[in-house]
Amino acid sequence: MNTPFKLPSAARVRRFAADNVVVLIFLFVTAIAVPSSKLSGTYIIQDLLTRYGRNAFLVFSLLLPIMAGMGINFGMVLGAMAGEIGLIFAVDQGIAGVQGLLYAVLVGAPIAILLGWIAGQVLNRARGREMVTGYILGFFMDGVYQFVVLYLMGAIIPITSKAITLSRGYGIRNTLGLDSVRQSLDKLLMLKVGPFTLPMATYLVIALLAIFIVWFRRTKLGQDMRAIGQDQTVSHSAGIPVERTRIVAIVISTLLAMVGQIIFLQNMGNMATYNAHRQTGFFAAAAILVGGASVAKATIPNVLVGVGLLHLMYIVVPPAGARLFGSAQIGEYFRDAMSYAVIALALALHAWRKRANAESARAGLRGAASGAVDPAKTEGGAA
């Protein structure tokens, strides 16, 4: 007997579309932009491979706070600032190559841990509003960073290289050349596959981070984070140190963001001293959300898909804009607008789903309550 072919119901399709609306919109836009850009497949793939190495680590740093129920850690810019301070010292000390990157990580690590701990403390006091608090905390710390880099470095904090100091004698220049560490990780192990060059050392570092995250989720601390992400009250009742675990999640995220920013900047080869970190959280958040993550749930595939999709759009939209509208600038504006729209849409969807779930749960309770009352009525009626 033939089993009749069962078409997915309209509700199921609607559910799928609602769950993946961000990904679908992105796929749609990119599908239009790719042929319009007239870029060759080889060029797009090579650029994507480079951008994976450059950005994936940063996006991975968002996973743990999401797992711990703290949403997207927009406070990751604190880690990015720590990485930049590390790089300033590496350049000032004239430490080049991979050793320069390691030196930057070692200098940046204690700063990132301290900043992460401060962020964790603040976010614990702003429970339920972690994302907006982290975002504003980033702005606040940006001011502190500017004060340190603009006024203290060279005046109180010793900076020996005049090449990176402002002509007035203290403060760091607006643009810092990272020639001494430029692509030193990428070029450590280059693999040529056909027309493509793959920065295998960078991929290896990213793969190690992914393995670490998989392992970490299975540890006691990782399980605690997941439990806290599901329900803080129950976790607290179960004896999990909720506040401490949330702080650990933010500290690890800040540390990873610090390393991620160093990997990002070594690939770029120069650093906008006062601006490089400002958009870090925004790009990373857009990437992970485009990959299908939500502010409550994110996985490693979300990161990989998101980095690919977002950067595919970044590659093809400006040339597509130039061809369709005669100005690449329109494409630039469009891709920025799309990235912001994705974040806004994901946040709105999260709020909508949360409310819908709460309403459905309430409706379920009402149903149960009426179910409990109805028999009495029935009995009464029967009587």
Nearer to other proteins, 89 or 314 (CB): 89
The yes or no reply on residue 161 touching other proteins (CB under 8 A) is yes
Nearer to other proteins, 124 or 146 (CB): 146
Closest separation between CB of residue 120 and other proteins, Å? Answer: 20
Query: Which residue from 73, 68, 86 is spatially nearest to 259, judged by alpha carbons?
Result: 86
Binders of other proteins: how many residues, by CB under 8 A?
27
Nearer to other proteins, 98 or 324 (CB): 98
The yes or no reply on residue 188 touching other proteins (CB under 8 A) is no
Nearer to other proteins, 121 or 275 (CB): 275
Query: Which residue from 333, 324, 334, 339 is spatially nearest to 38, judged by alpha carbons?
Result: 324
**What gap in Å lies between CA 353 and CA 289, rounded to an integer?**
15
The yes or no reply on residue 174 touching other proteins (CB under 8 A) is yes
Closest separation between CB of residue 215 and other proteins, Å? Answer: 18
Q: Spell out the alpha helix ranges (H) of 148-271.
A: 200-218, 220-230, 232-237, 242-268
**What gap in Å lies between CA 42 and CA 39, rounded to an integer?**
8
Which residues are 357's β-sheet partners?
none
**Binding string to other proteins for residues 21 to 60, with x set by CB under 8 A, is what?**
----------------------------------------
The yes or no reply on residue 146 touching other proteins (CB under 8 A) is yes
Closest separation between CB of residue 104 and other proteins, Å? Answer: 9
Interface with other proteins (CB under 8 A), residue from 32, 44, 48, 166? 166
Structure tokens, 89: 């010292």
Interface with other proteins (CB under 8 A), residue from 20, 40, 99, 327? 99
Residue 212: count of CB within 10 angstroms of its CB: 13
Closest separation between CB of residue 187 and other proteins, Å? Answer: 14
Query: Which residue from 261, 285, 267 is spatially nearest to 87, judged by alpha carbons?
Result: 261
Choose the binding region for other proteins from 194-202, 249-257, 268-276, 277-285 (rule: CB under 8 A): 268-276
The yes or no reply on residue 103 touching other proteins (CB under 8 A) is yes
**What gap in Å lies between CA 123 and CA 243, rounded to an integer?**
9
Which residues are 196's β-sheet partners?
193
**What gap in Å lies between CA 126 and CA 129, rounded to an integer?**
6
Interface with other proteins (CB under 8 A), residue from 13, 17, 18, 106? 106
Interface with other proteins (CB under 8 A), residue from 36, 46, 180, 299? 180
Closest separation between CB of residue 131 and other proteins, Å? Answer: 25
The yes or no reply on residue 171 touching other proteins (CB under 8 A) is yes
Contact yes or no for 320/333 (Cβ under 8 A): no
Choose the binding region for other proteins from 45-53, 58-66, 72-80, 166-174 (rule: CB under 8 A): 166-174
Structure tokens, 288: 């992970």
Interface with other proteins (CB under 8 A), residue from 13, 18, 35, 94? 94
R_g of the chain computed on alpha carbons: 24
Query: Which residue from 146, 145, 173 is spatially nearest to 159, judged by alpha carbons?
Result: 173
Interface with other proteins (CB under 8 A), residue from 95, 136, 157, 188? 95
Residue 13: count of CB within 10 angstroms of its CB: 11
Query: Which residue from 187, 163, 185, 167 is spatially nearest to 176, judged by alpha carbons?
Result: 163
Which residues are 175's β-sheet partners?
272
The yes or no reply on residue 114 touching other proteins (CB under 8 A) is no
The yes or no reply on residue 116 touching other proteins (CB under 8 A) is no
Contact yes or no for 145/261 (Cβ under 8 A): no
Contact yes or no for 107/89 (Cβ under 8 A): yes
Contact yes or no for 334/324 (Cβ under 8 A): no
**Binding string to other proteins for residues 221 to 260, with x set by CB under 8 A, is what?**
----------------------------------------
Closest separation between CB of residue 349 and other proteins, Å? Answer: 34
The yes or no reply on residue 138 touching other proteins (CB under 8 A) is no
Please report, as ranges, the residues that interact with other proteins according to CB under 8 A: 93-100, 102-103, 106, 109, 146, 150, 161-163, 166-167, 171, 173-175, 180, 272, 274-275
